[in-house]
Amino acid sequence: MVERESPLGPAYRPGRHGNVAEAAGVTLSETRPGSIVEVVSWPGSEKAALAAIKSATGLALPNMPGAGVSKKDKAGYGFAPRRWLIIDGREGVEQQLQKAVSDKIGAVNDLSHGRTAIRVSGPRAEWVLSKLFAVDFSAEAFPVSNGCSTAHHEIFAQIQRTGKNQFDLIVFCSFARAFWTTLCHSAEEVGYEVS
């Protein structure tokens, strides 16, 4: 595979930033998964597509809007009708999905090189994200493993809650540095660690 370069460039500055009076409110990181793949099913083939995703990745996604599964090194969720996003630490998951999802079921789109995965974790993760997106991030409205698609000032973002205080964001590579910079600014008041 082609060596991937982070689009965050010099904006990615590991270390402790912002408010240092207290413990860091959030930790920001780029998770760099090997595969980010979109699976689409034709109308009526939703169950077959979910079965194919399970056979290829082991992820048993519920057939519910926004519902997903989040494991240590792989995750998936529905982000639109008949559309699911699969994120896997390994490279080449797209080929496995291509084999499992026949053209009678739907289509598979490899986005691994076109998206950047950013993780926001820590006790103030909900607070910081609430400043950026008009989405309810409380655990009741946005339970662990659920995902959604939304936008920050026209920058499309897909967000999954991957832990009690942890969210994984997928943004376009081309907007990743701008979004990352905004995210850092938003985290300044609570103090943040880039790791």
Partner 1 sequence: MRISCPYCGTRDVAEFTYQGDATITRPDPASTDQNTWNAFVYDRANPAGKHSELWQHSGGCRTHLVVERDTVTHVITSVAFAGAKRKPVSAAAPKRKAPARKAATRGKAPS
Q: Are 160 and 149 in contact (CB under 8 A)?
A: no
Query: Closest CB to partner 1 among 120 and 159?
Result: 159
- Least distance (Å) between residue 130 CB and partner 1: 13
**156-to-2, 54, 164, 176, 191 alpha-carbon distances in Å:** 25, 27, 23, 10, 25
- Least distance (Å) between residue 116 CB and partner 1: 18
Query: Closest CB to partner 1 among 21 and 134?
Result: 134
Q: Give the interface with partner 1 as residue ranges (CB under 8 A).
A: 65-66, 79-81, 83, 134-135, 148-151, 154, 156
Query: Closest CB to partner 1 among 24 and 108?
Result: 108
Query: Closest CB to partner 1 among 11 and 155?
Result: 155
CA distance 139 to 120: 15
- Least distance (Å) between residue 68 CB and partner 1: 14
- Least distance (Å) between residue 71 CB and partner 1: 24
Q: Are 69 and 75 in contact (CB under 8 A)?
A: yes
- 76 closest CA partner among 94, 108, 93, 53: 53
Query: Closest CB to partner 1 among 53 and 157?
Result: 157
User: How many CB atoms lie under 10 A from the CB of residue 138?
Assistant: 10
CA distance 103 to 162: 31
- Least distance (Å) between residue 151 CB and partner 1: 3
